[in-house]
Structure 1
Amino acid sequence: MAKDKKKLLPPSSLIVTQSNKLVEARYSLPLGEQRLILSMIAKIQPDDADFTEYRINVKEFASFLGLDQKSIYRGFHAIQKSIVSRVLVFYEDDGPLAIGWVSSAKYLDGEGAVLLSFDPKLKPYLLQLKGNFTSCRLEMLLSFKSQYTMRVYNLLKQYEHLKTREIKIEVLREILGLRVDLHPEYSNFKLNIIKPVQKELKAKSDLSFEFDEIKYGRRVGAIRFHIFTKKLNESSTIESPIEGIPILSILDLSPLEIHADTLLDQLMVLVPEQHRAKKTVQTALGVFEQKNGFDYVKRNILYSNTKADKSYAGFLNNALKNDWGHDWELDQKIQPVKKKVVEIWERQGFASQKEYDDAMYRKQMEQYNKVGQNVHPLIHGAMVDG
């Protein structure tokens, strides 16, 4: 099983490179859409002079995100509609500039793919960057289960060489795209955003942080991050992103739900939204999680989501009592035998996927070094001008 799981990971050679102004832009993207945007950015090459239409294969996208194949097509129709409405804001010297992430999104019927085009006004922030940019591994970013962790990771990576970064609370909230009414008190912001992000970075990434609270009078007005670089164990694999959750579930989650931290919260996210407030559901999840563990409850929730017709709460309780999801989960893991597809690394004469990924990584880094001549050589980013 471990071997199969490794195939779900995206190619380790892909790099996401953004101008530092884009790293600090104000926007809010649901987790699934943010992963899609990052996957598009990773397709851009250092010497590209213009954007093209970026083709995302639906099954491929589902595979490296560990998503349910059965609902992925329906999910992509939903993402096609929502992604074109997402806007990010840059604070320029002469005033704020609002730009849409994509100018078009076309689903190709019968081809299992979607074509997406970046808005042309994003060119200065993504193309032919010769300084003041930040680069991160796509594989690392996709491993995070919170959109806030993705954003904070980029903000810290930008200043990794300086080892410290101070950000005003109000500015950090704007960058993270938090609504005014979401965690308005600093104590709640710290508990529900900063601390969980700190925990996830420490567990998964190549950097971690501690922080000091900077007070303006009696209130905390800024955070000073102390950034620590760590070397990941090369033999370990980055955790595959959320497994078994249909893409629509991820796209529809609120910021609070996406950032579920406790095991019970993570299980509650799997329950259809209209049933989460029911006490019978909440009680059943708590009791059976304590008694049988997280995976036991998870499979029975997913089974109920698929099979329940009328009374969801009653069906879920019976599924939890009798472990109806056990055999169903085994059936989901049995894949039909398919004709072997010749992989790209085989077609290009490499001995393995890893050898191909390593070669592509070296090639991409060489290209970045070429376009980055005569500027600060830091690959991981530099401070924003001014």
Structure 2
Amino acid sequence: MARPKKMTSENLMVIKSNDLIRKKKSALSARQQKIVLYLIAQIEPHDDDFKEYEFKMKDFCHLCGIRCCGKAYQEMWQEIENIADIAIKDVRLPNGWTTMLRWIEKPYYEEKKGIVRIRLDKDMKPFLLELKENFTRYELLNILCMKSKYSIRLYELICSAHYHELETYKNYFELEELRELLNVPEGTYPEFRSLKANVLDVAVQEIEEFTDKRVTYTVDRYGRTAVGVEMTISTKPTEERLQTYAKVDALLNGKTFPKEDKKK
């Protein structure tokens, strides 16, 4: 049984294959994404297999910015159970076969002690272990205060495109492609105005407020119809980045957590 790392900005790094980041069909909530990313951040560079980790439920509550209590523990366990049932569909394997993946194997919960045991699913190995190229690396701290699931998805997407921290990048997304990459459910926010207000603007604001990145976007239109967005991505200067992390650390360790909107 492996002990999880302590949650500090220095040692919790998320490293994922870019192919996994750009998979379009795995709709996790913000809270579920944080749980999965916390597990991924436990992986050591030399690991050639996934370990089973034993966590105190209060650590997961802290991770998601919710107060520790019996009700919260039960909610977190339900989230973990739901993660076990969510599949990533249409995954192309190196051998040419297409399959579906699950994030975690069967989890275990000892309710009296508030302890959870979880292991990442073995089929995730090619996307998370011993990565030598085509991967993205970022500090888990960047996403922990985000309330919207779309903010976390957009942050990962722009990180996967921002290869050199000292440079400014532009990345163009066709509108329908971006909807799929962010896992916006079909029929949700059908008009660009609502997509902009409820997804893009919220995500950009949270990335600016809580992360090491700065992102702006312009709308590409065909006549009056929005058909795409061009995003400009850069890394904040060191002093500003440290100020952002200090704010995030204070939120995580204080009593004023951002309240998560479960609908987002």
- What's the TM-score, normalizing by structure 1? 0.58
Where does residue 225 of structure 2 map in the other structure? 219
Name 1:200's counterpart in structure 2. 206
1:52 counterpart SS class: coil
Using the TM superposition, give the Cα deviation of residue 180 of structure 1 relative to its aligned residue in structure 2, in angstroms: 1.1
Matched residue, 1:40: 39
- 2:104 matches 1:102: yes
Opposite residue 262 of structure 2, the aligned amino acid is L
Identity %: 26
Inter-partner Cα distance in structure 2 for 1:76 and 1:212: 38
Residue in 2 that maps onto 1:54: 53
Deviations 1:146-191 (A, max 9, x none): 1111111111111223611111211211122111111011221112
Shift of 1:96: 5.2
Counterpart of 2:9 in structure 1 is 12
2:71 aligned with 1:74: no
Residue among 235, 252, 262 paired with 1:253: 262
Measured in 2, the distance between the counterparts of 1:21 and 1:60 equals: 29
Give the Cα separation in 1 of the matches to 2:211 and 2:241.
11
Which structure is higher in helix share?
A: 1
Structure 1's 131 and 29: CA in aligned 2 closer, same or farther, altered over 3 A? Answer: same
Instruction: From 240, 252, 263, give the equivalent of 2:251.
Output: 240
**1:211-266 CA deviation, whole Å, 9 max, x = no partner?**
22233565322211111221235353315259678xxx96x9222xxxxxxxxxxx
Matched residues in 2 for 1:233 and 1:167: separation?
A: 26
Residues 33 and 149, structure 2, Cα contact 8 Å, conserved in 1: yes
2-structure distance, mates of 1:244, 1:159: 33
Distance 1:189 1:32 in 2: 21
Counterpart residue identity of residue 225, structure 2: R
Q: What is aligned with 2:3? A: none
Task: Check the 8 A contact 1:68/1:244 in 2, yes or no.
Answer: no
**Cα distance in 2, alignment partners of residues 151 and 22 from structure 1:** 12
Instruction: Tell me the TM-score normalised to structure 2 length.
Output: 0.82
Pick the structure with more strand per residue. Answer: 2
How many equivalent pairs are there?
243
1:169 maps to 2:178: no
Judge conservation of contact 1:144–1:150 (CA < 8 Å) in 2. yes
For 1:191, give the aligned amino acid: A
SS in 1 for 2:138: strand
Q: Identify the residue that residue 156 of structure 2 maps to in structure 1.
A: 154
